[in-house]
Structure 1
């Protein structure tokens, strides 16, 4: 019938738009470390770069915060947690990590978050997880061992690896917080409003921690070296704030609304691939063959963990609760 054909066509177009938005989000997020590292090497403290990113994005999204100001009364704990963990914690740990270890390695370590969340579900909340999800955890951990080359005695900076793991743990906090509102239905908080207030909370927290008044502001008026190429520091900062934060968050949220969480999660895995390729091309950060293989295994494990459905969806509230949190995993790169 014509009506069904029209609806199917609209659905296909919607999925196509959703895939495009998810890809844009992955590229935008993946380029954040490549743009930030030259600024750090030019003399800016990693915390100052994070503060500039979060504060600039918070100002850009201030109109959305005003529009959703009711969230301050309805979900204060969620906004505070998202700002502390999902914004300030993740970004501070990640940027501090890339100041000591390659961008690709830091992001691949951060991709342990899905495995860590499943560990939280299984051992802290004592909810069942599927065998496929457990296999994903094993693959992710094994792949990480190859990425950090454990046979060389952790040749990378140990502090850098700890910071990258800290970013992964902050991602876990974000996923757990997201699960708290998963049963709210139509009363669930608007994700763009949560992002806007999360950025504002993160900016306030980072202002106290980073103390931007001690920053060497003259760096922003000069240039930064990107593997032998001089790039304006202001241009790199503009990319980090507008593209790698505002556009990345916005397109990520919109893509999840048009796609199933599983599909969005698969596209989100491209973030690590894109970040590694960009770091290879633009920063000259080459990975060895075992690291490339290990990174592929990490992404495969993350994909399996994200896309695994509950073993027994009709087991009642316990299984249902596990399903909600597992569905949050699949939006790792696009919603976190």
Structure 2
């Protein structure tokens, strides 16, 4: 592999992961200080980012694939279900978890999705239970306990609604990863994710229209934060991550992708001044450690590996 290409790949995956993490924190800033409605933000984020990804595909290569996906009725139905239950599901639950809690907790809870996939495959008897699986599950449970309680058995350190939405975000992310696998075998990830975002955005738009926002109250900072969340925290983050797979192995991208929750934690604590106790830091390390175990030790279940080859866990 060309060393220059590898350096470019490292830059892309690191930058993409950091943008994802910071994007969640900026979203919390919009909810907290600018009273942006979570439903509206999900709509505008999905629609604009989706169209940008599809436009990117049109100007790069195989532009005909953008509309080819709709010629097969079975594939089209699969894509619509994926867009609503997968993409919209994970985006909405993730943003709701941020709204009720913070980006650090929401991102870390979503990072439990690989463990949920392992448990699901074990229950369906599609894989065997290994020592690494047991350690992964136990480490994830310990990390979650420390993250949510800060080591105290007497109280929850994170609001209950934030926990519920965060866990649902992990479940939605697990569904997203598994359900996307057949689509990603046939079509480029930019096409699949781009259309899924547009479909999810259109679906939620019927409940909370894009134009139902107090545009006149937006300041320059509001627009700048929105632009960051949509362009850098969603579209560019995803594009950079996908491009990095051309120069790096899925293992390397998964490991470096763990910078996402780290970036979310650091920006949440030091920029938004959110409280984050010593045991919560330890819990965060446990959850991030799960990524390292999955990459270096465990024999990742085939369905998880196939589903993550192009998209990995980068869906937030």
Structure 1 position 79, deviation (Å): 2.1
Q: What is the root-mean-square deviation in Å for CA atoms of aligned residues?
A: 2.2
Q: 1:242 aligns with which of 208, 212, 231?
A: 231
TM-score, reference length from structure 1: 0.83
Q: 2:181 aligns with which of 140, 159, 179?
A: 179
Structure 1 position 310, deviation (Å): 3.0
Task: State the structure with more CA Rg.
Answer: 1
Q: 1:50 aligns with which of 35, 39, 42?
A: 42
Query: Equivalent residue of 2:153, what SS?
Result: helix
Structure 1 position 45, deviation (Å): 1.2
Change (3 A) 1:89 1:160: same
Change (3 A) 1:113 1:161: same
- Distance, in Å, in 2 between the alignment partners of 1:99 and 1:152 is 24
Change (3 A) 1:125 1:257: farther
Q: 2:207 aligns with which of 206, 209, 212?
A: 209
- Distance, in Å, in 2 between the alignment partners of 1:179 and 1:57 is 21
- Distance, in Å, in 2 between the alignment partners of 1:302 and 1:81 is 28
Please give the per-residue CA displacement for 1:92-133, whole angstroms capped at 9, x wherever unaligned: 111111111122111111111010011111112532243213
Q: Is the 8 A contact 1:53 1:240 kept in 2?
A: yes
- Distance, in Å, in 1 between the alignment partners of 2:125 and 2:181 is 12
Q: Is the 8 A contact 2:89 2:172 kept in 1?
A: yes
Structure 1 position 272, deviation (Å): 0.2
In the alignment of these two chains, the number of paired residues is 304
- Distance, in Å, in 2 between the alignment partners of 1:328 and 1:264 is 14
Q: Is the 8 A contact 1:253 1:335 kept in 2?
A: no
Give the aligned partner of residue 199 of structure 1. 197
Q: Is the 8 A contact 1:94 1:167 kept in 2?
A: yes
TM-score, reference length from structure 2: 0.88
Give the aligned partner of residue 157 of structure 2. 155
Structure 1 position 284, deviation (Å): 0.8
Q: Is the 8 A contact 2:116 2:171 kept in 1?
A: yes
Structure 1 position 305, deviation (Å): 2.8
- Distance, in Å, in 1 between the alignment partners of 2:118 and 2:54 is 34
Q: Is the 8 A contact 2:108 2:261 kept in 1?
A: yes
Structure 1, unaligned stretches of length 5 or more? 1-7, 224-231, 312-321
- Distance, in Å, in 1 between the alignment partners of 2:238 and 2:244 is 10
- Distance, in Å, in 1 between the alignment partners of 2:214 and 2:25 is 21
Q: 1:303 aligns with which of 272, 292, 296?
A: 292
Q: Is the 8 A contact 2:148 2:158 kept in 1?
A: yes
- Distance, in Å, in 1 between the alignment partners of 2:289 and 2:247 is 24
Structure 1 position 26, deviation (Å): 0.2
Please give the per-residue CA displacement for 1:303-329, whole angstroms capped at 9, x wherever unaligned: 313444439xxxxxxxxxx32424545
- Distance, in Å, in 1 between the alignment partners of 2:7 and 2:129 is 31
The answer to whether structure 1 residue 277 and structure 2 residue 266 are counterparts is: yes
Question: Mean alpha-carbon deviation: is it higher for 154-163 or for 12-21?
Answer: 12-21
Give the aligned partner of residue 105 of structure 1. 105
Query: Equivalent residue of 1:283, what SS?
Result: coil
Q: Is the 8 A contact 1:87 1:199 kept in 2?
A: yes
Q: Is the 8 A contact 2:49 2:235 kept in 1?
A: yes
- Distance, in Å, in 1 between the alignment partners of 2:307 and 2:107 is 19
Give the aligned partner of residue 137 of structure 1. 137
Give the aligned partner of residue 4 of structure 2. 13
Q: Is the 8 A contact 1:61 1:196 kept in 2?
A: yes
Change (3 A) 1:152 1:180: farther
Q: Is the 8 A contact 1:55 1:203 kept in 2?
A: yes
